[in-house]
């Protein structure tokens, strides 16, 4: 592995959590994180196992988005509702057995109206049965390192041994908001499905903050008699995205008010410093057997540092480690790491990728390249 050391010293504030402030006094548990770094700004009983109600559907939506991005599912693909899906109680979009609806309409129904029937229809489309889909949900939870989550259904209806935590819900939300398309749905206050038919259905977002709080574009409400009133919210301002979770609130008004207080605190006390963006060229690396001998490398994602606006300053640096690379290679392939360092400790690691696809050199290019090396005495 090649080691390329670049030092960049920034004067940026130290991050601390609001340990002495109870921003959600009526919630059993709560958390605020910054989405790009995962930094915890505020927490309260964040690892306590509680019923998550319909916030459960965030994991289902994450799996749907991954299937779409892998090409296994298309937005205009038709899904047929089973009798099982159409019989779901609770919040629903009133699917009828045998009714066909596009993936996009069903995701809209899940994201805006929290449709249990829509969620089960999508689960069956992807995995065959809801039970098999729940296995995928729990597998994904394990991959994300969630220690206090176990799903028994995909809807969030009360069930024995169905639980999660504010921390784990925030991590799921952090992964979900990486898929920008989902925010187009969860950030919509009202819309229609079956539009243009005699069964047109008006969707109104269960998350009222989408309409009443600047920057909120998601993410998922929840309520059952066991879970109480829950909400995972996300908002973006001035280049910073926050994710908040409250669980087991006494009513929807308190849930919204305390979420608002958490978002206000986060935006007032913190801001983002961009260390690198994903278009910054970090240098070039040699591509063995490539049609091009060298390729520029870039961060796979933006690298941001969260600043507490009131605290002392600190020094941050980063170094880059690059791998040996062999063609073919594509944009998105990992060719190294960027380690962000503070006080001699790595506080963040980001993947490095190539700026363009490099195909394998054909025989003619390889011959000319070898001939050039022979003439120049390199071999």
Specify the 3-state DSSP secondary structure of 307: strand
End-to-end Cα distance, the chain: 23
Strand pairing class (240-249; 228-237): antiparallel
Strand pairing class (12-13; 336-342): unpaired
Beta strands in the chain (DSSP E): 2-4, 12-13, 29-34, 40-44, 78-80, 100-102, 190-193, 201-204, 216-224, 228-237, 240-249, 270-276, 283-288, 294-299, 303-308, 313-314, 317-322, 325-326, 336-342, 345-354
Neighbouring residues of 130: CB distance < 8 A, sequence distance ≥ 6: 84, 120, 123, 124, 153, 154
Catalytic residue among 29, 36, 44, 57: 57
Lowest mean pLDDT among 51-60, 190-199, 277-286: 190-199
Q: Which helix (H) or strand (E) holds 59?
A: helix 57-69
Strand pairing class (100-102; 78-80): antiparallel
pTM comes to 0.84
Task: Output b/e per residue, 307-326; b: 16+ Cβ within 10 A.
Answer: bbeeeeebebbbbbbbeebe
Catalytic residue among 29, 36, 44, 54: 54
Q: What is the pLDDT of residues 6-55, one digit of tens each?
A: 333 333 333 345 556 899 999 999 999 999 889 999 999 999 999 999 99
- Confidence at residue 245, expressed as pLDDT on a 0 to 100 scale: 98
261 is a catalytic site residue: no
114 is a catalytic site residue: yes
For residues 191-206, average pLDDT: 90
Q: From CA 110, how far away is CA 94, in angstroms rounded? A: 12
- Confidence at residue 14, expressed as pLDDT on a 0 to 100 scale: 34
- Confidence at residue 15, expressed as pLDDT on a 0 to 100 scale: 38
Confidence band, pLDDT 50/70/90 cuts, at residue 290:
confident
57 is a catalytic site residue: yes
Dihedral sign, Cα of residue 39, residue 352, residue 146, residue 135: positive
- Confidence at residue 309, expressed as pLDDT on a 0 to 100 scale: 85
Neighbouring residues of 26: CB distance < 8 A, sequence distance ≥ 6: 249, 250, 254, 258
Neighbouring residues of 230: CB distance < 8 A, sequence distance ≥ 6: 52, 53, 54, 55, 221, 222, 223, 245, 246, 247, 248, 249, 255
| Residue 63 and residue 136 in contact, taking contact as beta carbons nearer than 8 Å | yes
Q: From CA 116, how far away is CA 61, in angstroms rounded? A: 12
Q: From CA 230, how far away is CA 244, in angstroms rounded? A: 11
- Confidence at residue 379, expressed as pLDDT on a 0 to 100 scale: 53
Domains, in order of start, for the chain = 2-11+276-376 (2.60.410.10), 27-249 (3.40.710.10)
Q: What is the mean pLDDT of the chain?
A: 90
- Confidence at residue 199, expressed as pLDDT on a 0 to 100 scale: 85
- Confidence at residue 240, expressed as pLDDT on a 0 to 100 scale: 94
| Residue 30 and residue 247 in contact, taking contact as beta carbons nearer than 8 Å | yes
Q: What is the pLDDT of residues 82-104, one digit of tens each?
A: 999 999 989 999 999 999 999 99
Catalytic residue among 91, 111, 114, 165: 114
DSSP, res 50: B
| Residue 154 and residue 134 in contact, taking contact as beta carbons nearer than 8 Å | yes
User: Could you please report the per-residue DSSP string of 290-305?
Assistant: BSSSEEEEEESS-EEE
Q: What is the pLDDT of residues 135-144, one digit of tens each?
A: 999 999 999 9
């Amino acid at each position: 592995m090649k080691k390329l050391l670049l030092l960049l010293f920034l004067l940026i504030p130290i991050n601390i959590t609001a340990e002495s402030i109870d921003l959600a006094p009526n919630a059993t548990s709560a958390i605020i994180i910054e989405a790009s770094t995962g930094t915890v700004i505020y927490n309260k009983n964040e690892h306590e196992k509680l019923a998550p109600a319909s916030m459960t559907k965030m994991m289902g939506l994450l799996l749907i988005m991954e299937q779409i991005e892998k090409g296994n599912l298309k937005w205009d693909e038709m899904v047929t509702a089973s009798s099982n899906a159409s019989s779901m109680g609770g919040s629903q979009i009133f699917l009828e057995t045998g009714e066909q609806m596009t993936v996009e309409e069903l995701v809209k129904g899940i994201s805006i109206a929290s449709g249990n029937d829509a969620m089960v229809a999508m689960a069956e489309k992807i995995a065959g049965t809801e039970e098999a889909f729940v296995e995928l949900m729990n597998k994904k939870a394990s991959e994300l390192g969630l220690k206090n989550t176990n799903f028994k259904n995909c809807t969030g209806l009360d069930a024995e041994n169905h639980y999660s935590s504010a921390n784990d819900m925030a991590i799921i939300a952090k992964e979900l908001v990486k898929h920008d398309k989902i925010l187009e749905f969860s950030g919509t206050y009202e819309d229609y499905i079956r539009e243009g038919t005699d069964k047109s259905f008006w969707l109104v977002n269960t998350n009222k903050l989408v309409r009443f709080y600047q920057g909120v574009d998601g993410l998922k409400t929840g309520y059952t008699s066991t879970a109480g009133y829950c909400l995972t919210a996300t908002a973006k301002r001035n280049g910073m995205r926050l994710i908040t979770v409250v669980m087991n609130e006494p009513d929807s008004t308190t849930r919204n008010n305390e979420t608002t207080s958490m978002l206000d605190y986060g935006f007032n006390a913190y801001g983002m410093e961009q260390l690198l963006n994903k278009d910054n060229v970090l240098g070039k690396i040699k591509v063995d057997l490539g049609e091009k001998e060298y390729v520029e490398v870039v961060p796979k994602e933006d690298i941001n540092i969260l600043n507490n606006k009131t605290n002392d300053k600190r020094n941050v640096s980063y170094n880059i480690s690059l791998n040996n690379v062999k063609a073919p290679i594509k944009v998105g392939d990992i060719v190294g790491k960027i380690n962000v360092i503070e006080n001699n400790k790595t506080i963040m690691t980001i993947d490095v990728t190539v700026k363009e696809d490099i195909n394998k050199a054909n025989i003619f290019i390889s011959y000319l390249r070898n001939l050039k090396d022979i003439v120049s005495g390199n071999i």
